[in-house]
């Protein structure tokens, strides 16, 4: 995920994070890679051979309120 972030263009970073951030601190990256399968879920798109692929896309949802 860290490599994916640093491949983003400035415009892509702005559209994704609504801010022109230049670095991704370790603590913030942990929020993206440690999901709980209940309030947050993430799926990644990989490109390359099995076991050697690189992440080229990521999508997620975050449930903000317990509606049920």
41-61: per-residue pLDDT in tens?
Answer: 999 999 999 888 899 999 988
| C-alpha triplet 59, 67, 37: angle, nearest 5° | 40
Question: Is the predicted pLDDT of residue 67 greater than 80, yes or no?
Answer: no
* In a domain? residue 14: yes
Tell me how far apart the alpha carbons of residues 47 and 54 are, in angstroms, rounded to a whole number. Answer: 5
Position 28 scores a pLDDT of 87
Largest CA distance in the chain: 41
What DSSP character marks residue 66? -
Residue with the bigger pLDDT between 65 and 56: it is: 56
Domain total for the chain?
Answer: 1
What domain range is 9 assigned to? 2-62
* In a domain? residue 67: no
- For 14-44, the pLDDT digits (tens) are 998 899 999 999 998 898 888 898 889 999 9
Tell me how far apart the alpha carbons of residues 33 and 42 are, in angstroms, rounded to a whole number. Answer: 8
* In a domain? residue 24: yes
- Residue 68 — pLDDT band, cuts 50, 70, 90? low
* In a domain? residue 20: yes
* In a domain? residue 54: yes
Tell me how far apart the alpha carbons of residues 28 and 53 are, in angstroms, rounded to a whole number. Answer: 23
């Amino acid at each position: 995920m860290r490599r994916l972030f640093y491949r983003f263009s400035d415009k892509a970073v702005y559209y994704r994070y609504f801010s022109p951030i230049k670095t991704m601190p370790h603590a913030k990256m942990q929020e993206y890679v440690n999901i709980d399968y209940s309030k947050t879920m993430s799926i990644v798109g990989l490109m390359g051979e099995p076991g050697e692929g690189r992440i080229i896309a990521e999508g997620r949802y975050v449930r903000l309120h317990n509606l049920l």
